[in-house]
Chain A
Amino acid sequence: MSKTPTLLFVASVLSCAPPTARADGPFRFTNVTASSRFFSLRNQGGHGVQWADVNGDGLTDVYVTNIFAPNEDRPDLFFVNQGGGVFHERGAIAGISDDGFFGRLSEESHAAVFADFDNDGDYDLFNAHTWSGNHKLYRNDGQGGFVDVSENSGIEIDNREPRGVAAGDVNGDGYLDLVVSSWENIQMQLYLGHGDLTFERGTQFGRRAAKLAQQGIMLVDYDSDGDIDLVLTGHEPVKDAIGPIALYRNDGAGGFVDATEQSGIRFVDEGVNGWSFGDLDGDADLDAVIVSKQRTRIYRNIGEGRFLFAQEIDRGNFTAVLADFDHDGDLDLYIGGGEAIFANDGNGRFERHAPVGIVGTGNDGRATAVADFDNDGDLDIALVSKRGANTLFRNDHNGAGWLRVRLIGPGGQAGAYGTKVYVYDSRHVDDPNHLRGFREARGATGYCSQNDAELHFGVPAGQAYEIKAVFPNGTFFIAKGVTAPARVVIDPNAPLVP
């Protein structure tokens, strides 16, 4: 008899106790929605939020996809970071507001994704329009504006009520592909990119996905085999004991195999909204966080695509974001819409803290994503809410113990989605005992959310580190002797310079 069920049982019992709330934690935030001009009379009713440095000025911009309530017909908003912690909304000027005024309400969308589909070093935009299926693909013109290239993109205009979107190189050809989840038991879509902003339809997925009213979708190498797998959450639970989730392992050629049962994850709930993946226990693999409206569960990766339940948190919503908010070296947890931060004890167990400043979270929070928008080295939080103001929380940790890593792929792709980045103590590269952090670059997380592609690590300040990036094609790059705090650009195409 395998020991796994026993371990699973023990872990489940131990995790039943709810996390204890602490009010004196290290987390301090300030709601800067107004002062940063993230606030707009139109900036409410958000469903998706995406961070990216669109104009390449070193300042992270943010895009908000709006839909539905309380008032329909809201344009998507594009906040261009002006520096100094201030944004200017430039959606219409940039050509990506997708305003559905004058009765064209169907242009509203749940989610979008910034991704460098043409490998030219800047972020293009795919916006999945929920009601019309009139998806938009925009090419970044390199000047901060976008050009609509949807017409010949090969992306079908099909009313499938898309929800989540994600970008990643699923077939390993060096070009980003696109996946779009769909509501109402409609098969999700995979588009294989050609690197020139044109796509072709990819594989069909199995029965499990088709039975879900899909929500958040992610492309992530959860089995650590070097290719990009796909995970999915949904509503309208299936009748089996697994729950409305799906995990597809990449067969190495861009095809996907349903591996939900083999994953060991069971999340039976009426509706599951989003995944998050991160190395919660410092063992260089991706552990899983699943969020439903009522609860959040933590699963520890035990290798070969299998997980072990580790902890349940009696708070839930749509998206849980993982970030090292306090620079202590491990990933903390923020469940979008809540007012608590769950601090990681370093071993993947979370303890609830009531931080200073996460107040006014709106109503019915949906997507949440992190970025260091003020470039002070810590990660800030953007939260969009379906029935309230979208909000921005500035992290006031301000500690010097951080590294930020901006990736350029071997083909010149901004963000290098799918790349794994490891931070080691200096002169200890590849030594697991000196691993300081592990992240995977990806194009989407949780529910309709996208963190800034510039990866963030909390590390002790003043020390030297080695940053190893392993690209999806198997090549790697190591930046030696990087002393925190530092922003590092890893670009294998650029001349090697210290």
Chain B
Amino acid sequence: MKRLFLLLLVLLVSAGSLRADWLIFKNGLASEVLAVELTDLAVNTVTLTGQRWSVLQDAVDIARTRRANRMSGDTRLSPGWNVLVGVPGEPAPSSPAKVSRQAAPATPPPPSPVPAPPPEAPVLAPPPEAPMLAPPPEAPVLAPPPPRAPVPAPAATTSLPKPSRQQRFAVYVNGAIGTEQVRFEETHSFELFSEQASIDSVYRDPKQRGVELGGLFRVKGPFGVGASVELFQNHRDAVYSASIPHPFFFDRFRQFSGAESGLTSQETAVHLDAFVTKTWGPISIDVFGGPSWFFTKTELLVDVLYEEAFPFDTVEPRGTQLQVFENRPIGFNVGASATYRFGGIFGLDMGLRYSKAKTTLFINDGREIQLDAGGLRLGAGLRFLFP
């Protein structure tokens, strides 16, 4: 199973041109995975610190690679895609695992007075005190077979995006959808002509669609606060069936049914959240929660209208009586979001939020209807990150 997963991982990374950091959850533990593409490089090194890494050199022989390259410290990567898997349970690094790729110079470097180690042998990199882990010029590097020359300073160093932890402020705008169709029923029973009349209403919302606007401010370390506003508006459908006792005779109910569409269903939610952020390279995960204030506008069918005439054996439906309710319930929300920062201040944002508040609708005739505001919603959009 694990093999299949890793294969899938590599395939996913290989399918794109971007480098990616991955966070794998397995058995409740997190493993970090880095996929690095090396192309036409003569010398490649990777500095692995504070964590033991397995290097998967290709997607084909995963098992072999894992066995062969389970190591820590610097290691050498082969051209093509390399997948590094951090083994869980190891001591936490003082800084994230640093993977650097050093490209070979366009022209052969001058001969190095220091013999280069065999190409297949890993060489130790300098201590990883620099955040950008380009190897120092004096560090031995793997050079492609001849010519053998000292490795100059890299002509170009490519690094993964800075960890988003360094971004203290972010705003985002997401489109959001409800993950489940809202459907609820309401039965209104009342005594009429010494029997129980009933009006059963079933409400169905189309898939909830809305927008979410918000901002985050990282206060200290991984902790921060945020605020967001969700706006949802739908047109709800209602189907009703009524059972009206006969005014004269027992057990002789008159029944009819009908439908109403386009009932207003609006919900504005203001969420105040505390959040914790975990960052892996360009990817950051926010887990948040806090109180929510809802402003709801709900239109419900509160009665059915009908006409009847002697001898009252049937009734003629004449529409419905609707009532609009405006409420301001207070509830909570929890959720998580993932952001991939792909350059500059821009990032892609995807999140899942569950919010809930109980609201009571008071109908003119004294009835009360309990409804929930909020729900489980999935959002995706843009995030703008600022230092």
Q: State the A residues within 8 Å of B (CB).
A: 426-427, 429, 464, 468, 475-478, 480-481, 492, 496, 498
Q: Which residue of B lies closest to A427 (CB)?
A: B250
Which residue of the partner chain, among A468, A481, A492, A496, contacts B194 with CB atoms under 8 Å? A481
B50 at the interface (CB under 8 A from A): no
Nearest-Cβ distance from residue A291 to partner chain B, whole angstroms: 38
Q: Is B191 an interface residue (CB 8 A)?
A: yes
Q: Is the CB of B312 within 8 A of A480?
A: no
How many angstroms between the C-alpha atoms of A492 and B249 in the bound complex?
15
Inter-chain CA distance A179–B194, complex, in Å, is: 41
Are the C-beta atoms of B192 and A478 separated by less than 8 Å?
Answer: no
Q: Across the interface, do A478 and B194 meet the contact criterion of CB distance under 8 Å?
A: no
Q: What CA separation (Å) do A492 and B309 show in the bound complex?
A: 10
Tell me, yes or no, whether B248 is within 8 Å of chain A by CB. Answer: yes
22 interchain pairs, CB-CB under 8 A? A426-B194, A429-B249, A464-B194, A468-B248, A475-B311, A477-B248, A478-B247, A478-B248, A480-B193, A480-B194, A480-B195, A480-B248, A480-B250, A481-B195, A492-B310, A496-B247, A496-B308, A496-B312, A498-B191, A498-B192, A498-B193, A498-B194
**From B197, which residue of chain A is reached at the shortest CB distance?**
A498
B310 contacts A481, CB within 8 Å? no
Q: Tell me the count of chain B residues lying within 8 A, CB to CB, of chain A.
A: 13
Docked CA distance A308–B310 (Å): 38
Q: Is the CB of B193 within 8 A of A481?
A: yes
A-B contact count (CB 8 A): 34
C-alpha gap A481/B191 in the complex (Å): 11
Closest chain B CB from A403 CB (angstroms)? 15
Chain A residue at smallest Cβ distance from B191: A498
**Docked CA distance A476–B247 (Å):** 11
- State the CA gap A477–B248 with chains docked (Å): 7
Chain B, residue nearest A410 (CB): B310
Distance, CA A477 to CA B311, complexed state (A): 8
Q: Shortest beta-carbon distance, A108 to chain B, in Å?
A: 45
Lowest 4 CB-CB distances: which A-B pairs, in order?
Answer: A481-B194, A478-B248, A480-B194, A496-B247
Nearest-neighbor residue (CB-CB) of A480 within chain B: B194
Which A residues are in CB contact (< 8 Å) with B192? Answer: 498
Q: CB-CB < 8 A to A426: which residues of B?
A: 194, 250
Q: Do A475 and B310 touch across chains, with their CB atoms under 8 A apart? A: yes
- B245, closest chain A residue (CB): A480
Are B194 and A429 in contact (CB-based, < 8 A)? no
Identity of the chain A residue whose Cβ is nearest the Cβ of B190 in the assembled complex: A498
With a 10 A CB-CB cut-off, give which of B248, B249, B312 has the most chain A CB atoms: B248
Chain B residues near A464 (CB-CB < 8 A):
194
Q: Which residues of A contact B312 (CB under 8 A)?
A: 496
Within the assembled complex, what's the spacing in Å between the Cα atoms of A468 and B311? 13
A32–B182 Cα distance when bound, in Å, is 71
**Minimum CB distance partner of A478 in chain B:** B248
Assuming A478-B248, A496-B193, what are 20 further A-B pairs, CB within 8 angstroms? A426-B194, A427-B250, A429-B249, A475-B310, A475-B311, A477-B248, A478-B247, A480-B193, A480-B194, A480-B195, A480-B247, A480-B249, A480-B250, A481-B193, A496-B247, A496-B308, A496-B312, A498-B192, A498-B193, A498-B194
Chain B, Cβ-Cβ closest to A430: B249
- B265-313, CB < 8 A from A: 308, 310-312
Task: Give Cα distance in the complex from A464 to B195, angstroms.
Answer: 13
Contact flags (1/0) for B186-210 with A, using CB distance below 8 Å? 0000011111000000000000000
Q: Which residues of B contact A427 (CB under 8 A)?
A: 250
Query: Of residues 206 to 248 in B, which have CB atoms within 8 Å of A's CB atoms?
Result: 247-248
Q: Which residue of B lies closest to A477 (CB)?
A: B248
Choose among B194, B195, B247 the residue with the greatest number of A CB atoms under 10 Å from its CB: B194
Give the residues in chain B near A468, CB-CB below 8 Å. Answer: 248
Inter-chain contacts of B247 with A (CB < 8 A): 478, 480, 496
Provide the residues of chain A in CB contact with B193, threshold 8 Å: 480-481, 496, 498
The residues of A that contact B248 with a CB separation of less than 8 Å are 429, 468, 476-478, 480
Least distance between B48 CB and chain A CB atoms (Å): 82
A356 to B157, CA, bound (A): 123
Inter-chain CA distance A480–B252, complex, in Å, is: 12
Complexed CA–CA distance, A429 and B246 (Å): 13
Is there contact, CB below 8 Å, between A478 and B310? Answer: no
User: Hey, which chain B residues are within 8 Å of A476, CB to CB?
Assistant: 248, 311
Please measure, in the bound complex, the distance between the C-alpha atom of A427 and the C-alpha atom of B308, giving whole angstroms: 22
Output the least CB separation between B263 and chain A (Å).
27
In the complex, what residue of chain A is closest to B310 when comparing beta carbons? Answer: A475
Give the Cβ gap from A103 to chain B, nearest Cβ, in Å: 55
Q: Is there contact, CB below 8 Å, between A478 and B308?
A: no
Residues of B within 8 A of A477 (CB): 248
* Chain B residue at minimal CB-CB distance from A464: B194
Bound form: Cα–Cα A125–B194 in Å: 38
Q: How far is the CA of A80 from the CA of B296 in the complex (A)?
A: 58
User: What's the Cα separation between A472 and B311 when bound, in Å?
Assistant: 15
Distance in Å: Cβ of A157 to nearest Cβ of chain B: 42
Which residue of chain A is the closest to B250 with respect to CB atoms? A427
Q: List residues of chain A with CB within 8 A of the CB of B195.
A: 480-481
A498 to B308, CA, bound (A): 15
Complex interface: chain A residues within 8 A of B250 (CB) = 426-427, 480
Q: Give, as a whole number of angstroms, the nearest-CB distance from A19 to chain B.
A: 41
Q: Which residues, 118 to 166 on B, are CB-close (under 8 Å) to A?
A: none
Residues of B within 8 A of A478 (CB): 247-249
Q: How far apart are the CA atoms of A460 and B249 in the complex, in Å?
A: 22
- Specify which chain B residues have a CB less than 8 angstroms from the CB of A496 in the assembled complex: 193, 247, 308, 312
Q: Which residues of B contact A498 (CB under 8 A)?
A: 191-194
CA distance A496 to B249 in the complex (A): 13
A132 and B164 alpha carbons, distance in the complex (Å): 114
Shortest CB distance A497–B (Å): 8
For residue B311, which residues in chain A have a CB less than 8 angstroms away from its CB?
475-476
CA distance A496 to B254 in the complex (A): 14
Residues of A within 8 A of B249 (CB): 429, 478, 480
Q: Which one of B195, B247, B308 has the greatest number of beta carbons of chain A within 10 Å?
A: B247
A416 CB to closest chain B CB (Å) equals: 15
Bound-state CA distance A496–B315 (Å) is 12
A498 and B191 CA atoms in complex are apart in Å by: 8
Bound CA–CA A468/B310 (angstroms): 14
Residues of chain B lying within 8 A (CB to CB) of residue A475: 310-311
A426 to B250, CA, bound (A): 9
Contacts of B194 in A (CB 8 A): 426, 464, 480-481, 498
Question: In the complex, how many angstroms separate the beta carbon of B199 from the nearest chain A beta carbon?
Answer: 16
